[in-house]
Amino acid sequence: MKYYFSLRINVAESAYKEAEQILQVKANLSSGWGVEIVTEDYFDFITHFLDVVENKYSQMEKLDISREDITIWCLYQYDSQCNLEFGYLDLLRLGQNKISLCISCWKGT
């Protein structure tokens, strides 16, 4: 069982380095700008990634990044049953930040 958590931002390739400087994280996705964490243990990825972007929106707007360009992903490879639960405070915080939560699950081999 593996979790893939990522913060993805739709930004011009020419602005990748500037985005990294603003957010103080190094992008590690092979396509597009994004930060991915792969783990066998669940962790509070919503809080983690919101902490990265919050209070930086005005700086990101200078790179033509709007909040609608930001998504947080949970990709989950499961063995038998797939259950995900998100607390209302995390979902409220996502909504207040106008950031979409994307989820993809698949059965492992």
CB-CB contact of 75 with 108 (8 Å):
no
Entry pTM: 0.91
Q: What is the dihedral of CA 52, 45, 75, 26, to 10 degrees?
A: 30
Per-residue pLDDT reduced to its tens digit, 64-100: 999 999 999 999 888 888 888 999 999 999 999 999 9
Show me where the domains of the chain are located: 8-107
Nearest to 56 by CA among 9, 108, 103: 9
* Closest listed residue to residue 6, CA positions, set 44, 40, 49: 49
pLDDT digits (tens, 9 = 90+) for 3-19: 899 999 999 999 999 99
Identify the pLDDT of residue 16.
96
| pLDDT attached to residue 77 | 83
